[in-house]
Amino acid sequence: MFIEVEALEKTFTIRKRAGLLRREKREVRAVDGISFGIGKGEMVGYIGPNGAGKSTTIKMLTGILTPSGGRLRVAGIDPSRDRTRLAHRIGVVFGQRTTLWWDLPLRDSYALVHRMYRIPDTRFAENLARCVDLLDLGELLDVPVRQLSLGQRMRGDIAAALLHDPDVLYLDEPTIGLDVVSKAKVREFLRELNATRGTTVLLTTHDLTDIEQLCSRVMVIDHGRLMYDGGLAGLHEAGESERSLVVDLARETAPIEVPGARFVRAEGPRQWLALPASASAAPVVAAVAAAYPLVDLSVREPDIESVIAKMYGGTGGTPRAAGESVR
Ligand SMILES: Nc1ncnc2c1ncn2[C@@H]1O[C@H](COP(=O)(O)OP(=O)(O)OP(=O)(O)O)[C@@H](O)[C@H]1O
């Protein structure tokens, strides 16, 4: 395995004033014993509600934070012990922060990356040319970073993270705040990068379309624990998700009653039914067509958002604190 994580833990101790003299010590288990392995070239989504422990995991994987327990290896390297050596193997992009120099044109930021990582000149020139081409950066190279739009800046950041040919790319909310066109560009680029260079990608996002379009595997974390690790289809099953069937009838009728589906609501001659995502819709469609004056019908697949909301126990992905204990 290229990334190996075993019983990984991170506990933060927070001291808080609890009265005039008393101080309370509170422990936050941000990551509470998670294990997973990621093979070379995999593209994995890492999702969960706010405060679930995603960023803390990524920070441990990059060596910024030292784990409180468990074992961790990235490309055979222990991140917190050998952070500098690891830096040559990984690229990191944080959607909400830039690693570029604010007052410098992109070109100068890249020149600094070139020197910092001691990238051989020809390799650097090749990588830069490729990123400029695929990320459409040609016209932007001489513009100071502070003058770039969010989408342009993000593309600039992704290029900066890749100039030293990392084997792994960690992306934390890479499409946050971007418009539809910029999102599509970023996704297209990541797909290409993964397919042609075999770069391993770990992607944290709140935009589930990122996951749907990019990742065949998804890990769901909540309260510092891994709730799910598997394919997208399995995630729908785990969340007991439902498809909806929108039925247009020739006239208003009583609520449709057919085996295998549940009536949800009606608006005039249009009715909504729900059926398990894992079951075939064909028998339900046939039963409706046989017994009701059917005009039109469409099936809507469940979106992951609702599936995950169900997994979290109906919180709808609203903010929750990680597992806390008071001492
Ligand atoms: N430096 C820190 N000191 C104390 N507590 C922290 C620290 N960093 C994170 N935490 C706590 O650990 C928990 C997990 O936080 P983390 O940032 O990893 O969540 P996240 O899943 O990345 O959330 P978000 O989606 O909001 O970025 C939270 O309860 C957070 O308040």
Q: Report whether residue 54 contacts ligand 1, using a CB cutoff of 6 Å.
A: yes
Structure tokens that stand for 283 in this block: 């028998």
Instruction: Inform me whether the pLDDT recorded for 322 exceeds 60.
Output: no
Q: Report whether residue 50 contacts ligand 1, using a CB cutoff of 6 Å.
A: yes
How high does pLDDT run on average in the chain?
87
CATH classification for the domain delimited by 3-89+166-237, as one of 3.30.1700.10, 3.40.50.300, 3.40.50.1110, 1.20.1050.90: 3.40.50.300
Q: Is this complex's ipTM strictly greater than 0.85?
A: yes
Looking at the whole model, is its pTM more than 0.80? no
> Cβ–Cβ contacts within 10 Å for residue 127, how many?
18
Distance, CA of 213 to CA of 205 (rounded, Å)? 12
CB 28 within 8 A of CB 14: yes
> Cβ–Cβ contacts within 10 Å for residue 9, how many?
16
pLDDT tier at 113 (50, 70, 90 boundaries)? Answer: very high
Ligand 1 atom nearest the C-alpha of 52 is 21
What is the CB-side half-sphere exposure of residue 22 using CA atoms within 13 A? 6
Q: Report whether residue 223 contacts ligand 1, using a CB cutoff of 6 Å.
A: no
Q: What is the pLDDT of residues 145-179, one digit of tens each?
A: 999 998 899 999 999 999 999 999 999 988 888 88
Distance, CA of 83 to CA of 200 (rounded, Å)? 18
Torsion over CA: 105, 108, 113, 119 (sign):
positive
Pairing mode, strands 69-74 and 23-38 = unpaired
Q: Report whether residue 45 contacts ligand 1, using a CB cutoff of 6 Å.
A: no
Sheet holding 43-47, edge to edge: 90-94, 168-172, 200-204, 43-47, 217-222, 225-231
Question: What is the three-class DSSP state of 60?
Answer: helix
Probe target for ligand 1 pocket from 8, 9, 10, 12, with the most ligand atoms within 8 Å of CB: 12
Going from the Cα of 93 to the center of ligand 1, the distance in angstroms, rounded, reads 18
3-state helix, strand, coil in the chain (%, to 5): 35, 30, 35
Ligand 1 atom nearest the C-alpha of 31 is 14
| pLDDT (average), residues 76-81 | 95
Instruction: Inform me whether the pLDDT recorded for 129 exceeds 90.
Output: yes
pLDDT tier at 305 (50, 70, 90 boundaries)? Answer: low
So where are the chain's domains? 3-89+166-237, 242-301
pLDDT tier at 316 (50, 70, 90 boundaries)? Answer: very low
